[in-house]
A and B are shown apart, each in its own frame.
Chain A
């Protein structure tokens, strides 16, 4: 933390000294240069679980369906129409005349091969949840396929417009996930011309892109380099050798925005929600366990000034959230009990629960130490003395699955799936990460998850969310945001799902 602060200060100082003008973007060569912070493990979208991977996936491949990121309307992409022919069978009519980057013609065989490969657990698709709802796919004719789901799965359309993209059958059978990662082939708006694993990716406009709802690509060439240090990314931006960086920390973004028209800084919300998880089920070894008492959980909720944290630390488009889901998700009704900042009431509730002098508890977090520390000091102020422990993600996850975490600051990004089931159903259905184990909530969520009727789903998600808020099982905190910084030559409006869409980028 200290190091990060020092770095920021050092760079800010140094930048203000550097007075020379900013070089123009590489508009002349029609090449947009972008930085990734994280090394992308494998371009094959079924074998990575990172945001950078989603960006590549949307550029290189197409899904059967497409969800407009602004209107949330579902449109046909590789499929032109679809229909549930029974509870568990979706029949799709496919688009004709589409070709893959290697010249292979797209047909039902590609859909069948892709689905049947990724749906099998032993083939090791990394995020099983993205694909394990599919039982299999079968070909009806060259341009008609049926996808069978294992259970009734209303979110199928959302998944088919998100993580499930279609691969060329013959090529994928030949090269497999490793080969696909090194030389990706899809139908998407951009084709991959160079991959240096983890370090560099070069994309070129697909001149033969079909009439897709993604729109036609405009910028000819995209060069992506992995630059782990955000200060170095900013330096490259200043020297004119980068045109777009994202996930820029709030303080840096503010400084860049303050430099006038040298850069364009835009901010968009993401689906990631930060929350406090409490051991309401009493799974941890803490004895007595204060979090089993609803008054203590309410006290925790009242103790924290969420608005102050959002305004001072997260900034941008972040919002206070009161539900274990992101407000734009289907079924995520925000009309639930809220707990405005009221430390006096928190103390009162703690006294009523039998803790007039508060109590001590371990408090875990795995990222965003500054947010966790702010939360920690709010809790200390009402008498909940936290023994703060920052763990590696994998270590905390292990502890969580064992249930030995009384109180923790966690976050969840819902894999950008715009459906409440991607969050609330992950954590309140008695799985290993469920810290509450409420039978009533489980029952309602089961109804909502397994219905194909939108009204029923909405009704039961609302019931479950209302109960979760009333019982103060969690203390939901805020949504996250991302800062995008571009050179003034680039015209780009980010979307709320934190996916860079090269197809919508233009030169000014």
Chain B
């Protein structure tokens, strides 16, 4: 197990490095960082002054090398835009994104897996149809639209929930539903497909034949096998939620890391974008790793390979 983990960690570092180098290059190609930083009101001299001040006139590789050297020592520098240490800026926003991501994936799993199981037990029943409808709607509906509908209904008409912000737990209810609903369809369809396949397999018939109760058959024997691809999918969805909840964060004015990344790209705020990309790629790597471990726990056959 240890060589396996070490190999994974080495690979993770390589992936993080590659991602950071590519993103750094892309940002440089996407427009003059000095002009972006100076803003729309800047004159030519302002931009030149900023170019000299931040050293954008030096070769890109030198600038990347400098960033990497600092980052390896744990110093992510200062945001060009906010003039604050990147580490504290991100720490502040990451807590919002983490809360939202964890709530979102929990909501998605708690609704999608039971629905998927029920739909598989009674294929083509009314419940299956409803589940299908829900998943098609979830896939088709843009999250900003769903978010606004919830805001109008629960924020304005019924006045049950605050429309936007992040100061209390009530503020997280609507964003969680919107974000979770976006991830739900894929998880539900995969659970249903997996369950259908497993329920028709020989060992389930054997389990039933030896007289096991229906609940035991479903959850101990069937679900445990059917859930394996769902775990991998959920890990990817989780990584996506932490890095890509830009729309939801924007609609509900949550000021999380996803929105910060999006805005920082537009502002060519290199230190912030670089640090965020590093963190987001680490999330993907960690969640994929955790999914592998979880799958190995669920399916003993995977432990040996």
Q: Which residues of A contact B30 (CB under 8 A)?
A: 392, 394-395
Chain B: minimal CB distance from A460 (Å): 21
Q: Which of B39, B145, B164, B250 has the most CB of A within 10 A?
A: B164
Tell me if A394 and B149 are in contact (CB < 8 A): no
Interface 9-mer from A78-86, A126-134, A350-358:
A126-134
Which chain B residues border A393 with CB–CB below 8 Å?
31, 35-36, 40
Contact present for A127 and B41 (CB under 8 Å): yes
Q: Which residues of B contact A391 (CB under 8 A)?
A: 31
- Whether B47 sits at the interface, judged by CB under 8 Å, is yes
CA distance in complex: A238, B268 (Å): 35
A302 at interface by CB-CB < 8 Å? no
**Which residues does chain A contribute within 8 Å of B266, judged by CB atoms?**
392
A227 with B164: CB separation less than 8 A: yes
Would you call B144 an interface residue if the criterion is a C-beta within 8 Å of the partner chain's C-beta atoms?
yes
A345 within 8 A of B: no
Are A235 and B151 interface neighbours, CB within 8 A? yes
The listed residue (A50, A236, A401, A431) touching B39 by CB distance below 8 A is A50
Q: Are A235 and B253 touching (Cβ within 8 A)?
A: no
Contact A397-B32, Cβ < 8 Å, known A49-B39, A128-B49: yes
The residues of A that contact B250 with a CB separation of less than 8 Å are 228-229
Cβ-defined contact, A129 with B46, below 8 A = yes
Mask of B244-263 contacts with A, CB within 8 angstroms, 1/0: 00000011110100010001
**Distance between Cα atoms of A122 and B52 in the complex (Å):** 9
Least CB separation from B158: chain A residue: A20
Q: How far is the CA of A441 from the CA of B152 in the complex (A)?
A: 56
Q: Which of B33, B36, B89, B259 has the most CB of A within 10 A?
A: B36
Question: Which residues in chain A, 186-224, are within 8 Å of chain B measured between CB atoms?
Answer: 197-199
A129 touches B163 (CB 8 A): no
Nearest CB in chain B to that of A123: its residue: B53
Binary interface encoding of chain A residues 219-252 relative to chain B, with 1 for a CB under 8 A from any of its CBs, else 0:
0000001111101100110110100000000000
The residue that A124 contacts in the complex, of B33, B43, B47, B53, with Cβ under 8 A, is B53
A313 at the interface (CB under 8 A from B): no
Indicate if the CB atoms of A401 and B155 lie closer than 8 Å: no
Q: Give the residues in chain A near B159, CB-CB below 8 Å.
A: 20, 239
Bound complex: CA of A14 vs CA of B109, how far in Å?
A: 29
**Is A11's CB within 8 Å of the partner chain B?**
yes
- Chain A residues closer than 8 Å to B47, beta-carbon distance: 397, 401
**Distance A401 CA – B30 CA, assembled complex (angstroms):** 15
Point out the residues of chain A lying under 8 angstroms from B162, CB to CB. 239, 241
- Tally chain B residues at the interface, Cβ within 8 Å: 49
Tell me, in angstroms, the Cα distance from A238 to B92 when the chains sit together: 29
Q: A178-B83, A239-B159, A394-B35 are in contact. Are A198 and B44 (CB under 8 A)?
A: no
Q: How far is the CA of A14 from the CA of B145 in the complex (A)?
A: 10
Asked if A236 and B163 make an inter-chain contact with CB atoms under 8 angstroms apart, the answer reads: yes
Q: Which residues of B contact A39 (CB under 8 A)?
A: 255, 263
Least CB distance from A334 to B in Å reads 24
Contact partner of A126 (CB less than 8 A), chosen from B38, B44, B84, is: B38
> Distance (Å) between the CB of A226 and the closest chain B CB?
7
A41 proximal to B (CB < 8 A): yes
- Tell me if A61 counts as interface (CB < 8 A to partner B): no
Check if B45 is an interface residue, CB within 8 A of chain A. yes
* A395 close to B31 (CB less than 8 A): yes
Instruction: With a 10 A CB-CB cut-off, give which of A124, A235, A391 has the most chain B CB atoms.
Output: A235
Q: Is the CB of A235 within 8 A of B40?
A: no
Known A49-B38, A394-B33; contact A126-B82, beta-carbon cutoff 8 A = no
Shortest Cβ distance from A415 into B: residue: B41
- Asked if B156 and A238 make an inter-chain contact with CB atoms under 8 angstroms apart, the answer reads yes
Among B32, B42, B165, the residue within 8 A (CB) of A127 is B42
B142 sits at the interface (CB 8 A): yes
Q: A18 CA to B253 CA in the complex, in Å? A: 21
Contacts of B84 in A (CB 8 A): 178, 181, 197
Give Cα A18–Cα B41 distance, bound, in whole angstroms: 40
Contact check, B253 vs A227: say whether CB atoms are below 8 A apart: yes
Nearest-neighbour CB distance to chain A for B173, whole angstroms, equals: 15
Question: Are B45 and A132 touching (Cβ within 8 A)?
Answer: yes
Report chain B residues within 8 Å CB of A199: 255
Chain A residues numbered 377-433 whose CB sits less than 8 Å from any CB in chain B: 391-395, 397-398, 401, 413, 415, 426, 431-433
Q: How far is the CB of B120 from chain A (nearest CB, A)?
A: 34
Contact of B41 (CB < 8 Å), options: A20, A228, A413: A413
Q: Do A198 and B53 contact each other (CB < 8 Å), given the known contacts A6-B145, A394-B36, A413-B40?
A: no
Residues of B within 8 A of A105 (CB): none
Known contacts A199-B255, A229-B253, then 20 further A-B pairs from the complex at CB < 8 Å, ordered by chain A residue? A7-B148, A17-B157, A39-B263, A42-B83, A49-B42, A124-B53, A127-B42, A128-B43, A177-B83, A181-B83, A197-B89, A226-B253, A232-B251, A235-B151, A241-B162, A393-B36, A398-B32, A401-B32, A413-B41, A433-B44
Q: Give the interface of B toward A (CB within 8 A).
A: 30-33, 35-36, 38-47, 49-50, 53, 81-84, 89, 92, 142, 144-145, 148-149, 151-152, 155-157, 159, 162-165, 250-253, 255, 259, 263, 266, 268
Of all A-B residue pairs in the complex, the 4 with the closest CB atoms, nearest first, are A394-B36, A394-B31, A395-B31, A398-B32
